[in-house]
Amino acid sequence: MTQGKYRLYIALLMGLGISVSCSKKSDSEQKSVESKPALSVTLIKPTLQDIPFKITANGSIAAWHEAIISSEISELRLIKVNVEVGDMVKKDQILAVFSDESVLTDVAQSRAALNEVEANLAEAQINATRANQVSTSGALSRQQIDQFFTAEKTALAKVDSAKAKLNAQLLRLKYTKVLASDNGVISSRTATLGAVTTKGQELFRLIRENRLEWRGEVMASEMVKLKPTMTVNLELPNVGNQIKGTIRAIAPTLDEKSRYGLIYVDVPDATSYGLRAGMFARGEFNLGHSAALTLPQSALVQREGFSYAFKVSEMKNEEIAKISQMKVQLGRRASDDIEITAGLNIDDIIVASGASFLADNDTVRVVKP
């Protein structure tokens, strides 16, 4: 349709009383709508700063070594229990006592048996000496002389056997007293007064030297960066300040299910901080510092599990800019700043805040901070 015919058609419609409106916008109006700023923002550039390189891990406080103290004698009744859970004990301190009447009787019998065989040995030795003196005279046959020597050796063997039996009974008598195997604190007590125990039955558990340690769980990739004697800062729920520990050992294997390995950290003066075995603690390993490209947290937004920042892709004038959404990878954190490991360069211009209200290819108004 030519322009003249189009005007004639419009005039005819208006003459019939039909109103006609034109919905097509001019090019200037369309550009005005498209260039309308979505938000007023301030702009920043990524900064390069020195950030501590740290590894964090979770773990529990545990006993350095826990000794199990068991009964070394059976069929005897406990007549005394001297300690309770939490008591501090010293090495060779008497923790419990068994009834020793029957053991004393066995000791007496063994001593009597030893005296008897020692008397027989003395007689056999005298006979052997006499036989040796008359061996050249021919008064005794060679067979009789050998019998006296054999009797002497037999009596000597019986004495050794009786001594061994007596030592065994004396050892049983010693075992009627249950002694602490080391200095430490009693962490468990199953000994019951009046109970008749069996050999090997557990009576007490002892935390040796009352010494505790922290066992942190770290990934295999982090374990290679850690070494014994390195310092660890521990944060505990009931302690206001951090506690410093030292790596004592690193586990040579990983857990097959979790793929985490244990780091054993000595905790000095654990009892003075009120620490207890089984407490949860968070550890932080400081591995030095390194330079990193950072952005404030306000310049980042999380969408669908990924982190994004908005970069200025075009400055139309001093106040109007077009932005692009950039996916970034995050690293370490330093206060409110976060390390950007990939996705941005140090010369990029970034929207400082309000990223959650923006979309890719939006137009924004630039204002001064």
How confident is the prediction along the chain (369 residues), in pLDDT tens digits per residue?
Answer: 555 455 545 545 555 444 444 444 444 444 444 557 777 888 888 888 888 788 889 999 999 999 999 999 999 999 999 999 999 999 999 999 999 999 999 999 999 999 999 999 998 988 888 887 777 776 777 788 888 888 889 999 999 999 999 999 999 999 999 999 999 999 999 999 999 999 999 999 999 998 999 999 999 888 888 999 999 988 877 666 678 899 999 999 998 888 899 999 998 877 777 788 888 889 988 887 888 888 888 888 888 888 888 888 888 877 788 888 888 888 888 778 888 888 888 888 888 887 778 888 888 888 877
Q: Residue 301: name the closest of 368, 240, 351, 229 by CA.
A: 351
Alpha-carbon gap, residue 257 to 269, rounded angstroms = 34
Would you state the pLDDT for residue 239? Answer: 60
Tokens 């090997």 sit on residue: 200
Tokens 């709508």 sit on residue: 33
Q: Residue 263: name the closest of 278, 289, 284, 279 by CA.
A: 284
Give Rg (Cα) of the chain. 45
pTM over 0.85: no
294 neighbors 288 (Cβ within 8 angstroms): no
How many other C-beta atoms lie within 10 A of the C-beta of residue 26? 8
Q: Residue 83: name the closest of 171, 168, 206 by CA.
A: 206
Q: Phi and psi for 280 in degrees, rounded to 5?
A: -85, 145
Tokens 């009597």 sit on residue: 112
DSSP element (H, E) containing 182 = none
Q: Residue 62: name the closest of 256, 262, 340 by CA.
A: 262
Domains of the chain: 29-51+291-366 (2.40.420.20), 55-65+210-288 (2.40.30.170), 70-205 (1.10.287.470)
DSSP element (H, E) containing 106 = helix 101-133
Would you state the pLDDT for residue 333? Answer: 81
Alpha-carbon gap, residue 150 to 137, rounded angstroms = 20
Tokens 């014994």 sit on residue: 228
115 neighbors 163 (Cβ within 8 angstroms): no
Alpha-carbon gap, residue 341 to 168, rounded angstroms = 72
Strands 363-366 and 212-219: unpaired
3-class DSSP state of 194: coil
250 neighbors 226 (Cβ within 8 angstroms): yes
Q: What's the number of CA atoms in the CB half-sphere (13 Å) around residue 5?
A: 2
DSSP element (H, E) containing 234 = strand 231-235
| Residue 104 burial (10 A CB sphere; 0-12, 13-18, 19+) | middle
274 neighbors 238 (Cβ within 8 angstroms): yes
